[in-house]
Chain A
Amino acid sequence: DGGITQSPKYLFRKEGQNVTLSCEQNLNHDAMYWYRQDPGQGLRLIYYSQIVNDFQKGDIAEGYSVSREKKESFPLTVTSAQKNPTAFYLCASSEIAGGPYNEQFFGPGTRLTVL
């Protein structure tokens, strides 16, 4: 069954701690994305990656970091520098980033709460 998995579903952390959110896909997609979702603000792009070992900042990259060592994995680290990290985080993938169709497939999301 092809798809995107994100773990964990819910995550609680203390303020000042770094935390890493997992995203894995078995769709053989080249491109992967991380979005942050806050109520009433839609989806905002944090980082995206078109190929292994390469990634670009999105609109709100400050306080976040990513890596892309394997095609199927794109973990997101929320660092202590992120001022307001409590949010719903969505991972997505698409066949290729620059293609015109660029249909993105989404994971189920991780809800991060920083106490």
Chain B
Amino acid sequence: AQSVTQLDSQVPVFEEAPVELRCNYSSSVSVYLFWYVQYPNQGLQLLLKYLSGSTLVKGINGFEAEFNKSQTSFHLRKPSVHISDTAEYFCALNLEGAQKLVFGQGTRLTINP
């Protein structure tokens, strides 16, 4: 069965520092991968998605992610974070023909001034 593992439950960084949020997945077939962001007491918003093609995907708010098939990873990166990036981030996958997304446990990103 497919699964998604977010390797860090919390990531604290200083403002303007780079950040990487790690996501690994398990699947024996082709996958489609997503990163969502959730600000406090709000719903989820799509940051970016990998469907096919270029393995480097750019999203909103300066985030990008790289799909690595051999490592079964889809890590999210931002070169310089801002206080407003404080949120919870979810990695998710879908399979061809699947009925539902599979979500990771989430990573809470905290930005310190």
Q: Which positions in A face B, CB cutoff 8 Å?
A: 4, 6, 33, 40-43, 45, 48, 50, 56, 58, 90, 92, 97-98, 100-109, 111
Q: Which positions in B face A, CB cutoff 8 Å?
A: 9, 32, 34, 36, 41-46, 49, 51, 90, 94-101, 103-106
Q: In the complex, how many residue pairs between chain A and chain B have their CB atoms under 8 Å apart?
A: 62
Q: Is the CB of A107 within 8 A of B43?
A: yes
Please name the residue on chain B nearest to A50 by beta carbon. Answer: B99
Report whether over half of chain A's contact residues are helix, strand or loop; otherwise say mixed: loop
Could you say which of A90, A101, A105, A111 contacts B51, with CB atoms under 8 Å apart? Answer: A101
Assembly CA distance A54 to B95 (angstroms): 22
Assembly CA distance A103 to B44 (angstroms): 12
Q: Is the CB of A108 within 8 A of B42?
A: yes
Please name the residue on chain A nearest to B42 by beta carbon. Answer: A108
Q: Is the CB of B105 within 8 A of A102?
A: no
Q: Is the CB of B46 within 8 A of A102?
A: no
Q: Is the CB of B94 within 8 A of A102?
A: yes
- Which residues from B are CB-within-8-Å of A56? 99
Pairs of residues from A and B, 4 with the lowest C-beta to C-beta distance, nearest first: A106-B43, A42-B105, A106-B44, A102-B94
Please name the residue on chain B nearest to A31 by beta carbon. Answer: B99
How far apart are A29's CB and chain B's nearest CB, in angstroms? 14
Q: Is the CB of A97 within 8 A of B46?
A: no
Could you say which of A33, A41, A98, A103 contacts B34, with CB atoms under 8 Å apart? Answer: A103
25 A-B interface contacts by CB (under 8 A): A33-B100, A40-B106, A41-B105, A42-B90, A42-B104, A42-B106, A43-B90, A43-B103, A56-B99, A90-B43, A92-B43, A100-B32, A100-B51, A100-B95, A100-B97, A101-B32, A101-B49, A102-B32, A102-B98, A103-B46, A104-B44, A104-B101, A106-B36, A106-B44, A107-B43
